[in-house]
Structure formats: structure tokens, C-alpha cells
Structure 1
Amino acid sequence: MDSPHGAAVKAENFGLKGPRGWVFRGVGLDAEPGALIAVEGPSGSGRTCLLLALTGRMKATEGHAEIAGHRLPKHLTAVRRIAALGPVTGVNELDQSLTVAEQLREGALLQRRYEAPVRALLRPRGERRAGTQARIDAALTAAGLDLAQLPKGPRTSVRDLERLEAVRLSVAIALLGSPRLLALDDLDLKLSDAERAEAWTLLRSIAARGTTVLAVCSDAPDDVTVLKTGAAEPAAHTEDTEDTENTKGADDALAEAGRA
């Protein structure tokens, strides 16, 4: 699999306001292609919505961002074409009823259907199948997922994967389309300290190959670029109310993204 050229990610006064108030606001960033960026903050602070906005899945309401030169919020479709999104609850999730092999084939089929040129679709079936398998094998290697090590190999059910294995599978599926920007939600959710270190090592290796990586987490390593959400400190008498409203606003925005 060819190493894609990563996307520069820039943002200036980037914000999203929902029916209940600001989900995130005042975000600024200037990251070079191939950067590893962490969106750090507590749950409910708007970090997932910021991830979705920077990948063209949610429309910001203030300021602007640029992903590989595509300006947001105007060019949402162009950004979606170059940004691959890992699982986001209610938006884009692994199918727990499939086996790992089925999930990979489905991901490859969707990628071929929506992004392959017409001439590629006209190639002989055997040639297409071999090409698809080569892409899957390369993506699995990049994601560090060895199917032979799973309990039932490729026939292992997605629901039976350990959390880190599921992360690696999600990364492999995302890499099938050679994205310029890879975005992952809740990277460190339910991971031990050792597993968390493995997950960040994986993302560093992907960024080193040229793909820009954006990952939501609760606690980022010291060596990555960090975007913090929920960092504002309101007056003491309004803190609880504003935190509650921010959480509700983030929930409303995520529900809207799921319906889109």
C-alpha cells in the first residue's frame, strides 16, 4: 500500500454552537502533514464533535479550518473524501454481528464502490479479488493486526475482539482508502496503560508513514500535538450549569451527525 501524503490541518477560532449552547469554541491549530494530533478532554467536552467537524462530518458555525487546503465549513464533501473516520458511537461503528474477515471485505467493497475509477471495476473478477486482498493485507500489516493470532483467525467475531484488537481492525479498515487524514474517537477507552502505549505507538507509526492522524483521548502523551476541549473556566456560580449544557449540546450535535 502506497504511503499517502498527509493533510495539513489548520483551524482558526473554530467553533460549533448547538441548540443548547457552544459545543466547542475558539479552537486554533496549525499542524503539518504527517502530524499526530490528540484531541484531549473529558467526556462530554465536545471532543468527538470537534473530530467530526475537522473530518467534514459536522458543520462548524464559527471560524474556519483547512484540511489539505480544503476550507471548512464550506468544503465538507472534499474533506470527507480524504479523511477516514474510525468508529464513532451512533455515527460509524464496527458491525458486531460480522466476523473480522467479513468486516474487512465489507470495508474494501464500500471503498471500491465509492472511490475506484470505472476502469478498475471492469477488470476481471479474479484480478479485482487479488487486488482487494493485497490492499487488505497491507492495511492489516500497517495496523499491526495478525489475523492468525485471533482466537478463530479471520472467522473471529467482531464482538469477541479485545478492545485493542478492535482499534487495530478499525485502523486497518480506515487505511484501505489510503486517507490523507485518519481520525479515531475514544482511543484510550477501556485500555490498560500498556495497551494505551501500544495504541499510541501504532498511531506514531502511521503518522511516520505520511498520514496525518487525529485521535480523541482523555490523556495524551507528551510528544504529540494537543488540542484541548472543555478548557474554558467559567465563573464559579455558572460552572455546573455550563458543563451540563455543553454536554447536552455535544449529545444533540452527535445525534444530528448520526442522522446525516
Structure 2
Amino acid sequence: MESTSHTLAEEPEIDTSALRLRGWGLSGKQGEVFSDIDLDVPRGAIAIFRGAAGTGKTSLLLSIAGRMHVSAGEGTVGDLDIRKQARAVREHVAVGHVEGLTDLEKDFTVAQHIAERLIMLQPWYKPWVSKSSLREVIDVIRKTFLSATEVIDRLPEGIFTTSDAEQADFLIDPTGETFVSELSELQKFFLEFGLAGLSRPPLVVIDNIDYLRERTDRARAWAGLLIYQELRKTRDPDDLLTIIVSCEDASEVDAALEALESEVSPTSVSEISLAPRPQPSPPQPPQPQHTQHPQH
């Protein structure tokens, strides 16, 4: 595992890391999935797990989120022990995108998805959400994306344009009545991320940002994550958001960071390269046996 890190802003005094791993590893019937991962991610940072398919990125993210048991090592989210306090960790680490886990219902509207998530966050004895509460949340999401649009408007021409926002890449309609089936892949990405952020978690994990096939969409996705992180810090400097993302190619984050250099200041950005797991040796075919026959 290779790790590179650079600080984009003078690091504030931080009481505890958002994430700390020591000797973190997972083995299965097919051998090691990942192993010997040592990592410190400060609050308000972005960490990128980079590796080809089959390097254990998804399993690593799920283990950090308290949703998959590891076989070795120590890990903490804030002051929570991941292995011993998995349930509490799941309340502190939201999943922004993992295929098969955060999939959206195509026949649901945006509003229905938001209402469903709000109900899940409420006490069990309140299995409903008022229209006013729903409109309030949709309004907050819209204001967040409008703030992102204002940032984009200040960028040099040709990087991210206002027409991107007009095409609703950064916006959700006022009533939330758009069906998921009508959304672009980038809009779905932001909806999943927005749903994950409703509980205001200190840490969000996002798997395989490469599923956004267009390079411009990936750059916009990174820009959206960085802008949202900055807006949350601006609104409450003590409520920093840490984001962990997996991908095969992280080049688009550099483009987003360069474009937003004067607008965003994550605590740090680190990149961790995951090596392919060793492949088991194929079984050797049995050697033919030669039998000596007695001579007559």
C-alpha cells in the first residue's frame, strides 16, 4: 500500500482523527482481500482509496462503515472502536454510494426518497413526515446546490459553466416531484450523497466514483463534494465533514481542486494505493503415472 498526502490549508488543532487504522486487514476463503492498512485521516479531510477492480476497495469502505467484519487490526472512527462498536459506527458513518446498497428506486420521486430517509431517521413511533418538513429539507438541498452554482459562476470560463447547473446537474426541482428514472447519473450521485448527508454524519464513504462514465461528470462530482464540504464548514466550523472515496483513477479530483483552489480548503487530501490481491496458484494437472509391465 502506498500513501501520498498533501495539506491544502494550515491544519487546525484537532482533538481526534476522523479515522485511524492500524494493521487493518480482511481475509476470506479466496485469501487476502486487503491487509496491513495503516491510515490516519483528520477531520475535514478527503481520503482516496485508489486501485483496480479486485483490490478490495468496496470491502474496505464497508469495513470502515461498520458494515463488514475484518479479521485483523485496530480501527477507530472518532473515539469509537470499529470492531467493538460497529452499531454506533454505523450511526456516524453514512454511505453515499455503494452499488447494491444505496440503489435508488426508479419509480420513486426525489421527494419520496427524501421522505423515506427522514422517516428512517425519526423515532419508531413517528412513521411519517409532514409536507412542511419535507419542503424544508428540499429547500436546504436546493440552497446548497445553488450555493455550488454561485461558486461555479466565479470560476474561470471553460471549467464549469452555468449551463451545467441549468441542466440540473447541481439542482433538484423545487417540489421534488421528478422521478429517479428521469435523473442523469450525476444527479443520482448527488441525490445519494444528499440522502447520506441528511443525518449530518461526521464521515461519508463513497465507492467507485468511476461508475460515472463521463470524465466531466466525475470532475463535477468531485467539485460538488468539495463545495458541500466547504459549505458545511462555513455554516458550522465545529461540524467538519470527512469524505472517503474509492476509484481507479483520481485524476479528476486534481482538476476539481485546481479549479476550486480559492473556494475550498479541505484539511488535507490523501491518496492510498491498494495493490491487487495475490492470485492463488492454479492447481497442477496430475502427472501421468508409468507402470512397468513384467517382460514375458
User: Normalization by structure 1: what TM-score?
Assistant: 0.75
Q: Distance in 2 between matches of 1:207 and 1:29?
A: 21
Aligned pair 1:172/2:182, yes or no? no
- From 190, 193, 208, give the equivalent of 1:186: 208
Instruction: Quote the offset at 1:129 in angstroms.
Output: 4.2
Matched residue, 2:57? 47
Instruction: Quote the offset at 1:6 in angstroms.
Output: 9.8
Matched residue, 2:3? none
Using a 3 Å threshold, how does the CA distance of structure 1 residues 189 and 14 change in structure 2: closer, same or farther? Answer: same
One-letter code aligned to 2:209: L
Aligned pair 1:137/2:147, yes or no? no
Q: Distance in 2 between matches of 1:6 and 1:178?
A: 18
Using a 3 Å threshold, how does the CA distance of structure 1 residues 147 and 33 change in structure 2: closer, same or farther? Answer: same
Question: Percent of aligned pairs with the same residue?
Answer: 27
One-letter code aligned to 2:215: D
Q: Distance in 2 between matches of 1:104 and 1:197?
A: 25
Using a 3 Å threshold, how does the CA distance of structure 1 residues 184 and 135 change in structure 2: closer, same or farther? Answer: same
Instruction: Quote the offset at 1:60 in angstroms.
Output: 1.1
Cα contact 2:206–2:246 (8 A) shared by 1: yes
Cα contact 1:147–1:154 (8 A) shared by 2: yes
Number of paired residues?
A: 222
Aligned pair 1:228/2:270, yes or no? no
One-letter code aligned to 2:60: L
Q: Distance in 2 between matches of 1:81 and 1:174?
A: 11
Q: Distance in 2 between matches of 1:112 and 1:90?
A: 24
Q: Distance in 2 between matches of 1:6 and 1:219?
A: 29
Aligned pair 1:70/2:72, yes or no? no
- From 215, 219, 227, give the equivalent of 1:205: 227
Q: Distance in 2 between matches of 1:148 and 1:78?
A: 34
Aligned pair 1:218/2:248, yes or no? yes
SS at match of 2:210: coil
Cα contact 2:229–2:241 (8 A) shared by 1: yes
Instruction: Quote the offset at 1:140 in angstroms.
Output: 4.4
Cα contact 1:84–1:182 (8 A) shared by 2: yes
- CA deviations over 1:113-170 (Å, ceiling 9, x no partner): 46xxx8xx59xx99x5433432343244435642239xxx733221232111111101
Using a 3 Å threshold, how does the CA distance of structure 1 residues 139 and 15 change in structure 2: closer, same or farther? Answer: farther
Using a 3 Å threshold, how does the CA distance of structure 1 residues 87 and 31 change in structure 2: closer, same or farther? Answer: closer
Q: Considering only CA atoms, is the larger Rg found in Structure 1 or Structure 2? A: 2
SS at match of 1:148: coil
Using a 3 Å threshold, how does the CA distance of structure 1 residues 206 and 37 change in structure 2: closer, same or farther? Answer: farther
Q: Distance in 2 between matches of 1:155 and 1:136?
A: 11
Cα contact 1:15–1:60 (8 A) shared by 2: yes
Cα contact 2:102–2:192 (8 A) shared by 1: no
Cα contact 1:148–1:154 (8 A) shared by 2: yes
- CA deviations over 1:2-46 (Å, ceiling 9, x no partner): xxx996111111011112111111111111111111111112211
5+ residue gaps, structure 1, are 235-239, 245-260
SS at match of 2:48: strand
Q: Distance in 2 between matches of 1:7 and 1:177?
A: 20
- Runs of 4+ residues deviating >3 angstroms: 139-145
User: Structure 1 stretch 223-232 or stretch 17-26: which is displaced more?
Assistant: 223-232
Instruction: Quote the offset at 1:104 in angstroms.
Output: 1.4
Alignment of 1:1-12 (within 5 A): 8-12=18-22
SS at match of 1:98: coil
Q: Distance in 2 between matches of 1:113 and 1:139?
A: 23
One-letter code aligned to 1:131: S
- CA deviations over 1:171-220 (Å, ceiling 9, x no partner): 11111111111111111313322211111111112333221111111112
Q: CA RMSD in A?
A: 2.8
5+ residue gaps, structure 2, are 1-14, 149-169, 234-239, 258-268, 283-296
